Structure 1
Amino acid sequence: MERWIENHCNSQQILLVGEGDFSFSACLARAFGCATNMVATSLDSQASEWGKHWSCVSHLNDLRQRGCQVLHDVNVHDMHRHYFLSWKKFDVIIFNFPHAGHYPGFGESHPRVIDARVMLRPGGEIHVTTRDDYPYNTWHVDSPASSAGLFLTEKVWFEKSDYPGYHNRRGGDIDSNETFALGESYTFKFEAKPYCMY
């Protein structure tokens, strides 16, 4: 039986990148009842993850019990060459709040933040959720997407309450398990331009 939560359903092959405490992945898994269609990843190692986001432990346990593949040390810049991910294709790639931490030279405007089109199935989408109020809207998330061979198909309001149990966490080393203000947040949906499909 097909189960939906907002823009996502259990019949889609879903990749989540840059997860903080994995509460968003866990929210989807609970809504689906099973998470065998999902791969959830974090930039941090497992040990570092536990140190930064103590709240991740229960979410990781829940995900694994529901059949989700969980990977650590996955960098969005080269994840298409990752030993496990390189041979997989996805219907949806989700990247929530790419600039949740403080990494010099890396934010929503970085040209490789959403350079993952080679990992999409035909007709697949990349969903980037970010704030779209000042000063965050000056990053123009659609510009690096266009440079990466993607085009914006839809922009939808992101309502945190639509995702029960999700807690947006900071990604840096300062107050990393604290939430941050979401302001005017939207999910930007991108598809690969036809000539960029692989």
Structure 2
Amino acid sequence: MEQLPYGNTILQELQRQIEGAVLSQRFIPFQTIHMHYSSLHRILLVGEGDFSFSSSLATAFGSAENIVATSLNSKEMVLRFYKSAGNSIFNLLSRGACVLHDVDATIINQLGIFKGTMFDRIVFNFPHSGFWGKEDSDEVINKHRDLVSKFFQSARMLLSCMGEIHVSHKEGLTYGKWNLVGEAMKAGLSLKDCVTFRITDYPGYTNKRGSGARIDDSFPLGECKTYKFMFTPAAFIEKELMLVREQSYCNAPQPQMWI
């Protein structure tokens, strides 16, 4: 067969692209992926009980330098009420995680420690406002909805433009009344995906009650889903413009102070 005159040129260009791709990989940090999370994601976890979920991610990644794990309770309460919390926290700290206590998930954007920080994943597993009576009463459901609504409003301020907010939640008629999707939409978030949550996907994780006499006990999960939310297109543009304005302000000449 007669060889096409431009055959060698195409092969040379293909070889150049392959060599360039291989070379570029040398400068990409090693990545470990576990379920919906990557070791390259900046991950914020709120509402941790005994820190076993964040500890499970840290073990899967091998390093936890990309993880910030927080609890509503103080350090003293966490260690007193959850017998396995000490081991989980030690695992996180020894792998480079940041562990914080007394962190209210509804006002995380107001905390000075997070100023200027954006996260690729913000995770709230099984949010619960506390035990106020029967779970199917309108009063209790409204308290839970208020919790997730304020969480979405606050978390969106710390979310990177292409980031995701993950909420794992029990399924069923009562829990559906929390209206996660509707509350997220009020915060400028849209549902990207909804996937089955399996506790076995996170070795070492044990779901815990947030309060009460049986605080160190697990609660029945049944069917659960992980809801993944992202910015709506309009909110995405708003976020981009906000970042541009902030960057312009930081780079602008500051007025001199005369003494």
| TM surpasses 0.5 | yes
Q: Equivalent residue for 2:85? A: 56
Paired with 2:37 and 2:109, the residues of 1 have a C-alpha distance of: 22
CA drift at 1:109: 5.4
- Per-residue CA distance 1:56-114 (angstroms, 9 max, x = gap): 00000000000000000110111111121122100000000001742666325542132
Aligned: 1:99 with 2:128? yes
- Aligned positions, number: 198
Aligned: 1:189 with 2:218? no
Q: Which runs of 4+ in 1 moved over 4 A?
A: none
Paired with 1:100 and 1:169, the residues of 2 have a C-alpha distance of: 14
Q: Equivalent residue for 1:8? A: 37
SS in 1 for 2:168: strand
Residue 192 of structure 2 is aligned with which of 153, 163, 170? 153
Paired with 2:129 and 2:87, the residues of 1 have a C-alpha distance of: 21
- Per-residue CA distance 1:7-64 (angstroms, 9 max, x = gap): 0010100000000000000000000000000100000111111122122000000000
SS in 2 for 1:50: helix
1:1-198 to 2 correspondences below 5 Å? 1-99=30-128, 101-102=130-131, 106-108=143-145, 110=147, 111-115=149-153, 116-196=155-235, 197=239, 198=242
Paired with 1:28 and 1:6, the residues of 2 have a C-alpha distance of: 9
Paired with 1:114 and 1:186, the residues of 2 have a C-alpha distance of: 17
User: Is the 2:129–2:143 Cα contact (8 Å) retained in structure 1?
Assistant: no
SS in 2 for 1:118: helix
SS in 2 for 1:139: coil
CA RMSD across the alignment = 1.5
TM-score in terms of structure 1 length: 0.94
Q: Which has the higher helix share?
A: 2
SS in 2 for 1:107: helix
SS in 1 for 2:144: coil
CA drift at 1:143: 1.2
Paired with 2:209 and 2:131, the residues of 1 have a C-alpha distance of: 9
Change (3 A) 1:174 1:12: same
Higher relative contact order (CA 8 A, sep 6+): 1
Paired with 1:78 and 1:9, the residues of 2 have a C-alpha distance of: 26
Give the unaligned 5+ runs of structure 1. Answer: none
Q: Which has the higher strand share?
A: 1
Paired with 2:143 and 2:117, the residues of 1 have a C-alpha distance of: 26
TM-score in terms of structure 2 length: 0.73
Q: Which moved more, 1:132-141 or 1:84-93?
A: 132-141
Paired with 1:101 and 1:161, the residues of 2 have a C-alpha distance of: 26
Amino acid at match of 2:204: G
Give the unaligned 5+ runs of structure 2. Answer: 1-29, 133-139, 243-259
User: Is the 1:170–1:180 Cα contact (8 Å) retained in structure 2?
Assistant: yes
